[in-house]
């Protein structure tokens, strides 16, 4: 029995924004139920403790704990950056720095845009709530979110940060947040989304759904950094929809959370699309980090490139399950998928399963996976040159992760991630 949904929560939910979508989502949850480890897609990730735990009423009045000093303390924030803040799923207008927005981009609360024509066209159109009950749960219980719109041919050079904070008064909280990013044709932008906990004692379940639309000739990079405390659990569903000649890059870097489950689905639905997916998980203790990806090649002459790496220490568990679908019309597809993993302790575990399903006959597709411990010869080489063992191990692990980290183009954010990585290896 779950405490996430009851009659009181249902009746409150349908009085909030987007009521018809919520009703549909509740029906989808009733039909599907929540996944168990008997489901192949959730074989290694049990949600039993998460969905049976008690949480504060999701629609109860917000207690605001995040203040400007919490934002200023983040080392990657600099003067001139655009900072958007959500706390427990709520858009914090008082902390959002929208006055620094460059021309060509607008950012606002999703709830305030319920009747926006662009939102009506795109919102909830790419989310597979009939396949993913946790995405349906988000749709049913969403508190608020962010709507980002980038104009046609706009070049956005400023750093744009969306900060998701969880906070509480001591009771566990469950948060349901949405992000809708619509990048019009010919534009270029880099959006960075970071999830954080207010304190080390904050207990939270964070359920985030993001929909990203990349129009013709648009070029969008999306950094997603997860650094919540170890009392938090996080489930994310990210959907990207690409149109002709577009480029999309997503960097998913996971350091925090007790349990993390990321579902990422890309749909290359026109010719000459290019997609890059880079992922890194660095776990220790008893963390569980689970990445599931799906790439749909629907049209010809598209390229996708997928590199996921894992550094698992302590008694942590990592999961990678990646699928590439090349549909019948997607001739001349070029798709690559790689999963490489290092176990930094004898008790760490990694499950990896790259998969291809190809229905076209003129394509170039490859995938591969490796899991093992550190290269002893490389370690010996460094130690023979006077570098002690911990430093040598850290150097090698950092080099291993660099294939992913180097794609974070925002230098301040990259340095922040480098420091977090250093603390994990």
pLDDT in tens, 32-66: 999 999 999 999 999 999 988 999 888 887 778 99
- pLDDT at residue 1 in the model: 47
Are the C-beta atoms of residues 309 and 405 closer than 8 Å to each other? no
Q: For residues 70 and 329, what is the distance between their CA atoms, to the nearest angstrom?
A: 50
Cβ neighbours, 10 Å, residue 120: 12
Q: For residues 113 and 107, what is the distance between their CA atoms, to the nearest angstrom?
A: 10
- pLDDT at residue 6 in the model: 84
Are the C-beta atoms of residues 110 and 124 closer than 8 Å to each other? no
Cβ neighbours, 10 Å, residue 126: 19
- pLDDT at residue 2 in the model: 63
- pLDDT at residue 345 in the model: 95
**b/e per residue 279-293 (b: at least 16 CB within 10 A):** bbbbbbeebbbbbbb
pTM of the model: 0.95
DSSP 339: E
Name beta bridge partners: 189. Answer: 220
Name beta bridge partners: 261. Answer: 235, 290
DSSP 328: T
Sequential pLDDT tens for the chain (425 residues): 467 888 888 889 989 999 999 999 999 999 999 999 999 999 999 999 998 899 988 888 777 899 999 999 999 999 889 999 999 999 999 999 877 799 999 999 999 999 999 999 999 999 989 999 999 999 999 999 999 999 999 999 999 999 999 999 888 999 999 999 999 999 999 999 999 999 999 999 999 999 999 999 999 999 999 999 999 999 999 999 999 999 999 999 999 999 999 999 999 999 999 999 999 999 999 999 999 999 999 999 999 999 999 999 999 999 999 999 999 999 999 999 999 999 999 999 999 999 999 999 999 999 999 999 988 999 999 999 999 999 999 999 999 999 999 999 999 999 999 999 999 88
The structure tokens listed for 136 are 């349906």
Q: Calculate the dihedral angle through the C-alpha atoms of 107, 109, 110, 116, rounding to the nearest 10 degrees.
A: -70
HSE-CB for 4 with a 13 A CA cutoff: 27
Name beta bridge partners: 278. Answer: 251, 307
Are the C-beta atoms of residues 307 and 404 closer than 8 Å to each other? yes
∠ CA 66-71-77, nearest 5°, is 165
- pLDDT at residue 97 in the model: 80
Cβ neighbours, 10 Å, residue 67: 12
In degrees and rounded to multiples of 5, residue 354 shows phi and psi of -80, 140
Q: For residues 21 and 17, what is the distance between their CA atoms, to the nearest angstrom?
A: 9
Q: For residues 151 and 187, what is the distance between their CA atoms, to the nearest angstrom?
A: 7
């Amino acid at each position: 029995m779950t405490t996430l949904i009851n009659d009181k929560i249902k009746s409150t939910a349908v009085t909030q924004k987007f009521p018809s979508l919520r009703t549909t989502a509740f029906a989808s949850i009733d039909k599907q139920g929540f996944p168990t480890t008997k489901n192949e897609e959730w074989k290694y990730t049990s949600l039993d403790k998460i969905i049976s735990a008690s949480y504060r009423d999701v629609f109860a009045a917000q207690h605001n704990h995040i203040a400007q000093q919490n934002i200023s303390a983040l080392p990657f924030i600099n003067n001139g950056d655009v900072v958007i803040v959500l706390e427990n799923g709520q858009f914090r207008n008082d902390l959002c720095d929208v006055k620094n927005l460059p021309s060509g981009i607008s950012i606002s609360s999703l709830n305030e845009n319920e009747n926006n024509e662009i939102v009506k066209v795109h919102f909830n159109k790419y989310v597979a709530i009939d396949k993913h009950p946790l995405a349906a749960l988000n749709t049913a219980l969403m508190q608020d979110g962010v709507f980002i719109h980038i104009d046609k041919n706009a070049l956005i050079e400023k750093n744009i940060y969306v900060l998701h904070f969880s906070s509480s008064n001591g009771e566990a909280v469950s948060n349901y947040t949405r992000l809708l990013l619509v990048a019009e044709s010919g534009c270029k932008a880099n959006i960075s989304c970071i999830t954080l906990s207010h304190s080390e004692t904050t207990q939270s379940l964070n359920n985030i759904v993001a929909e990203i639309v990349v129009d013709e000739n648009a070029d969008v990079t999306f950094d997603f950094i997860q650094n919540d405390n170890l009392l938090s659990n996080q489930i994310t569903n990210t959907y990207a929809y690409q149109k002709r000649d577009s480029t999309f890059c997503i960097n998913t870097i996971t350091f925090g959370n007790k349990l993390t489950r990321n579902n990422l689905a890309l749909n290359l639905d026109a010719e000459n699309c290019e997609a890059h997916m880079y992922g890194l998980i660095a776990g220790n203790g008893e963390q569980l980090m689970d990445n599931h990806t799906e790439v749909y090649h629907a049209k010809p002459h598209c390229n996708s490139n997928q590199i996921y790496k894992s550094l698992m220490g302590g008694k942590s568990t990592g999961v990678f399950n990646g699928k590439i679908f090349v549909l019948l019309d997607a001739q001349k597809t070029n798709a690559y998928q790689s999963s490489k993993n290092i176990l930094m302790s004898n008790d760490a575990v990694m499950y990896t399963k790259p998969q291809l399903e190809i229905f076209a006959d003129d394509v170039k597709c490859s995938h591969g996976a490796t899991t093992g411990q550190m290269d002893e010869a490389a370690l010996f080489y460094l130690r023979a040159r006077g570098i002690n063992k911990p430093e040598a191990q850290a150097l090698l692990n950092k080099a291993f992760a660099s294939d992913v980290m180097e794609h974070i183009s925002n230098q301040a954010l990259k340095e922040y991630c480098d420091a977090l990585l250093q603390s994990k290896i």
